[in-house]
């Protein structure tokens, strides 16, 4: 049986603010794929769900059958394990998309882990934001030679 373990994290600098996702996909304790993507200005909860969607899509591409999802988002974990209802309309569409994707697997478990145990995904999410903010800063700076930009 093709089994994967996936660590996910969403990060937002401000809430809402510039956001990124981090996903670490593992097979037999070996990292198969790292995903670090900037997703624009949004909330931390939307970033968490977006990270999970990326993780589920990657698992489909890798033809996994059984997934163990690890997240440091207690809210996401409890919502998907049906302990909490989804009340936020901005999350509901993502939640339904996750449920739809999860149907493609024989078994999916979602576990709430500590932030410490989720360092890899956290680092990838934060890197995505930092890269984008650095890119934005560079494009806003005046030319180094002091010449006016051509209009």
Q: Which two tokens stand for residue 142?
A: 């005046």
pLDDT category at 137 given cuts 50, 70, 90 is: confident
Q: What is the mean pLDDT of the chain?
A: 92
Residue 133 lies in a domain: no
CA gap 53, 116 in Å, rounded: 22
Q: What is the DSSP letter of 143?
A: P
Q: How many domains are there within the chain?
A: 1
Residue 145 lies in a domain: no
**pLDDT recorded at residue 135:** 85
Would you say 16 and 42 are in contact if contact means Cβ atoms under 8 Å apart? Answer: yes
Of 106, 54, 45, give the one whose Cα is nearest residue 77: 45
pLDDT category at 140 given cuts 50, 70, 90 is: low
- The number of angstroms, rounded, from the C-alpha of 103 to the middle of its chain's C-alpha atoms is 19
Domain residues for 88? 3-128
First to last CA, the chain: 60
Residue 144 lies in a domain: no
Residue 93 lies in a domain: yes
What digits encode the pLDDT tens for the residues 5-42? 999 999 999 989 999 999 999 999 999 999 999 999 99
Domain holding 46: CATH number? 3.30.420.10
What digits encode the pLDDT tens for the residues 59-106? 999 999 999 999 999 999 999 999 999 999 999 999 999 999 999 999
Whether the pLDDT of residue 109 is over 70: the answer is yes
């Amino acid at each position: 049986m093709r089994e994967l373990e996936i660590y996910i994290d969403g990060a937002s600098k401000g809430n809402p603010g510039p956001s990124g996702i981090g996903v670490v996909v593992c097979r037999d304790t070996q990292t198969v794929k790292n995903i670090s993507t900037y997703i624009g200005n949004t909330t931390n909860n939307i970033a968490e769900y977006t990270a999970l969607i990326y993780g589920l899509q990657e698992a489909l591409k890798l033809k996994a059958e059984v997934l163990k999802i690890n997240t440091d988002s207690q809210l996401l974990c409890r919502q998907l394990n049906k302990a909490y209802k989804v009340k936020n309309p901005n999350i509901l569409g993502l939640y339904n998309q996750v449920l739809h994707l999860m149907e493609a697997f024989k078994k999916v478990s979602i576990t709430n882990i500590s932030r410490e145990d989720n360092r890899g995904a956290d680092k990838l999410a934060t890197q995505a934001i930092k890269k984008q903010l650095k890119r934005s800063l560079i494009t806003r700076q005046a030319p180094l030679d002091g010449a006016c930009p051509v209009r």
